[in-house]
Amino acid sequence: MIPSDDPDTRPGAPESSGPDRYSRQILFPKIGRDGQAKLARARIVLVGAGALGATSAELLVRSGVGTLRIIDRDVVETSNLGRQALYTTDDALVGRPKATALTRHLAAFNPEVRCDPRVADLSARNARELLDGFDLVVDALDNLEARYLINDWAIQAGVPWVYGACVGSRGLSAVVMPGATPCLRCLFPDPPPAGELQTCDTAGIIAPAATLVASLQVAEALKILVGASRDVRRTLLSVELWPFRWIELGGKDASPDPNCVACGQRKFEFLDSPQRGAVQVLCGRDSVQIVPSERSGVVNLEAVRARVRTLYSTKLMEEVLRIEAQGLRITLFRDGRALVGGTSDASVARSAYDRIVGS
Ligand SMILES: [Zn+2]
């Protein structure tokens, strides 16, 4: 993990712009002065600084939250610029880490918010260190495994989190308030096997889908932060923009499943399993091994190949699928294990696996 830049030492940070900054938001009666004061004390952790995360960060920082920790493992690439708000061509050319690049841009329009960038890959090993002490988690991840980890941490800590995901023109969002609403494992008891879900790197994405989901997430986050929990949407919302349709699953009275492994039985399998989703750097081989979770099941190599073969060079040989993509050689096994050759950087390997194979 790269330590954060200290935002308090940023050169040229302007002084507070006075009471006008939040005046229109304060006029909105559901927020008002009391709500604004609560926002100013709020500590939020945003996990993921891609398309969802960059827009969520902008909305949260403009709204005047107190502290925003931004966790992301990737660097800005040119292919991000078509949809990921705030990033610039210069960020991509330099290859700046998204967490630190985003923090610099956020400081330019609201230096009153303390932004705390962490260039890190959220895992069972560092989850408590990175998440403890925050009032709310906003999920803007590109992989399911880490969402289950956030869910475990949030249920154990009793902290709400806002789920969001998007691919193509479609987005999903839900709010988990421990003890009051269904958690991720109430809705989806286990993550699907690796390679089952589409990713933005294989199915594409349009920018409005990401900004829509980010707006949905931040709207619910604001309700929680000002103490309006009764107004929080309790449904799992699925929106497709092209063609347009939307559906809400569950009802306004949806409640936690007493048999849920996480919130019912309070077994935190993702948080308490350091091996889950483990990444091992193989010495001297310029490659990284990714070990899947115990529950991830058998991978349908043929389906993964069908999805990526028009984009990348692939070769399927009985129990092994080889994919050459973005300068890396991914060897995927039916048990979900993968060797990522061409790098000894665990976060680069994990990121490529999540974006190309999908997990
Ligand atoms: Zn649950």
**Rounded to the nearest whole angstrom, what is the distance from the C-alpha of residue 261 to the centroid of ligand 1?**
7
Q: Which residues keep their CB under 5 angstroms from ion ligand 1?
A: 183, 185-186, 260, 262-263
Distance (Å) from CA 72 to ligand 1 centroid: 26
Q: How far, in Å, is the centroid of ligand 1 from the Cα of 176?
A: 9
The answer, yes or no, to whether residue 25 has pLDDT greater than 70, is: yes
- What's the CA-to-centroid distance between 331 and ligand 1, angstroms? 34
Q: How far is the CA of 99 from the centre of ligand 1 (A)?
A: 30
Q: Which amino acid is at 357?
A: V
Residue-wise burial string across 211-242, b where 16 or more C-beta atoms lie within 10 A, e elsewhere: bbbbbbbbebbbbbbbeeeeebbbbbbbbebe
Distance (angstroms) between ligand 1 centre and the Cα of 100 equals 34
Average pLDDT over residues 286-309: 79
* Residue 353 pLDDT: 86
Average pLDDT over residues 42-57: 97
For the ranges 80-84, 135-139, 283-287, 335-339, the lowest mean pLDDT is seen at: 283-287
Task: Tell me how far the alpha carbon of residue 216 lies from the centroid of ligand 1, in angstroms.
Answer: 22
The SS3 of residue 273 is: coil
Question: What domains does the chain contain, in order, with CATH numbers?
Answer: 7-249 (3.40.50.720), 279-357 (3.30.310.10)
Q: How far apart are the CA of 172 and the centre of ligand 1, in A?
A: 18
Q: How far is 262 from 186, CA to CA, in rounded Å?
A: 8
Distance (angstroms) between ligand 1 centre and the Cα of 47 equals 20
Rounded to two decimals, what is the model's pTM? 0.81
For 105-164, the pLDDT digits (tens) are: 999 999 999 999 998 888 888 899 999 999 999 999 987 888 999 999 999 999 999 999
Per-residue confidence (pLDDT) for residue 19, from 0 to 100: 66
Using the 8-state DSSP alphabet, how is residue 131 labeled? H
Percent of the chain at pLDDT exceeding 70: 89
| Whole-angstrom distance, CA of residue 291 vs CA of residue 339 | 9
Helices (H), the chain: 23-27, 32-41, 51-63, 89-94, 98-109, 127-131, 144-157, 184-187, 200-203, 207-225, 301-308, 346-352
Tell me the CA–centroid distance for residue 148 and ligand 1, in Å. Answer: 11
Spacing, Cα 306 to ligand 1 middle (Å): 34
292 CA distance to ligand 1 middle (Å): 22
The whole-angstrom separation of Cα 298 and Cα 339 is: 16
Given pLDDT bands bounded at 50, 70 and 90, which one contains residue 2? very low
What distance in angstroms lies between residue 174's CA and the mean position of ligand 1's atoms? 13
Mean pLDDT of the chain: 87
Q: pLDDT-derived band of residue 3, with 50, 70 and 90 as boundaries?
A: very low
Contact 221, 176 (CB under 8 A): no
**Higher per-residue pLDDT: 320 or 239:** 239
